[in-house]
Structure 1
Amino acid sequence: MATTERTEARTAAEILAGTRDLVDPALRTAVDTLPSPVRRIAGYHLGWWDERGRPAKADGGKALRPALTLLSAEASGGTARDALPGAVAVELVHNFSLLHDDVMDGDTTRRHRPTAWTVFGANAAILTGDALLALASDVLTVADNPDPGGTQRMLAGAVQDLIAGQLADLVLEERREVTVRECLGMAEGKTAALLACACALGATLAGAPPERVAALRGFGSRLGLAFQAADDLLGIWGDPTVTGKPVHSDLGRRKKSLPVVAALSSDTPAARELADLYHGDGPLEGPDLERAATLVEQAGGRTWTHEQADALLEDALRLLATADPVARTGAELTALARRATRRDH
């Protein structure tokens, strides 16, 4: 994946496949250093083996964050291998957050298979997430990292923002009234911070000057918000065969995602009926679940979130242009950004 190895831009699917080919061996090497019981749970979560430790080829995720790290290094004139420690680190942090999210949200399915906590127990899944987080910082201590302390602080800052965003999400779920501004602010920490860090790490590991690092960080941050908007749409209207989660899964938990908050803020008859449904007790089920999805759409939540995702993506691409990336890599980052914000993936 070095800059000199390619002359034509790849498709997003090719980028993600190439990222997996490069990152997975290094990721396995890192995970292999964990204590055996933790390694077993981590490998199950990552799709490498089943609950008994037998080899499996389950879905390990899209590899969006490590792909952004590798491409940001190439966009800065370096190579993908320069940024490999950063790519592994952000993938470990991402999976730390997923292990914890699944426990907190009570999700029983991820990537088309039972979540780790339902197989090994909530406490074991939480501790495995903690181990991945500690390991993420450790992988940045390689000898050829030009700024190990700086990159570790960069990653730690993103983790703090991610945790603050996750906490804000929990707080907002307990409140009856939530604004769109608050919802976007939560997403800046919960989702955008790690994508921004992924891009900044790649540029830093390639030796980019501060202004280029900042531009690529900004690109990742806006892309993260666009990605969250698209993901919130999938949480209501996504195809379960693609998302690996039940249809209307976010509505079933009465989650205050962007489409829901936008709909509830619309001051329409549909919004008022939706509020009556959403502010009840217990999970939404059956006809009420279908009705809630219809009301979100009627109140304009679906259309608004589509438009928001598109606007945020365009903001991200404008920031990418200011980083003056290598032409081919700029095209690949653009293709990856557009793929990440599709509402059918």
Structure 2
Amino acid sequence: MFVAQGHAGRTVRSCDGGESWIDDTSDDDAIRCFSDGFDCDHHPGAGKGIVYGRDHFFATFGWGMPRGVLRSTDGVTWEPTLEGTTFGGLAYGNGVLVAGARNARVTADQGATWNDAVDTTLEGWNVRRSAWVNAGAAGLFVIVGDGDGGPDVVLSEDGTTWWHPMSFPKGECGNGVQTEGGIVAGNGTLVIVGGDGMACRSTDGGRNFTSHRISDGTSSQAVFDGSHFWVWARGTAYRSADGASWESMTTTPSVDIGPVAYHPTLGRFVAVRGGWQTWYDGQVFWHSDDGVRWTVAGTFTGGHPIRFVSEGWAPPSERCPLP
């Protein structure tokens, strides 16, 4: 199952590999983001990240104005687990959920209880992206945020003890990572892709990074499909097995991918149109089995901006059977 998270508290799910999107809800369907002064980026309903862990989807909403972390077993009904605060994304791994902030919060019981704030030692105060990746000895939590002279990165094996890389090309890595690019890992390599088209990779568990140019800029988020890293710009897919050398392919049609996720069991990508003012009547949901040839979803409703998509599992039901 895929669950997409958007602004104004929006969530919508697909139970058939991205062919149709159902149970589309938000805090208020009538508002229009970035119209008449309504700033959805700085609002309690601002979508800041969604992940799946064990038997729950977790989503964090709120930026500039607080909300917190919610959880759901089906992607439709959500309950708050941590309120009155904001985070720059979520990361789930090894049974631990980290809410990304300069002073991060951590839960090891699916959000039932949270620890006191943990100082990540991030140079700045604003976290721009958070992720757990299968890198290092047993996986790593990675946070990218503001820093001195460029984005800063901190890493942790357990979410409570954080450290900086020994080398990280300041000013070259993690730029524009808030809604584009991302933090991904595979083939023994950790890759941080920036929205400026720069990939920074580590082959030693995050201790040292080197920068590698993909393109002049990317519009999409980044994913790993089990063999390759992927990122997109308008009409072009970029693919790499090692995060250093990237090949480009022309997409069919000329799509402008934004939020994207990959389902390893289905072998399928799903994506939502990226760019500015590409929501409501301009919003499009796609799916693809190869990352190059894309098909418009058969059923969806344009709505508030989508910011992230996650894949996971929910108990089968009549409305949402297993695909």
Structures share fold, TM-score greater than 0.5: no
State the structure with bigger RCO (CA 8 A, min sep 6), 1 or 2: 1
> What TM-score comes out, normalization by structure 1 length?
0.26
> What TM-score comes out, normalization by structure 2 length?
0.27
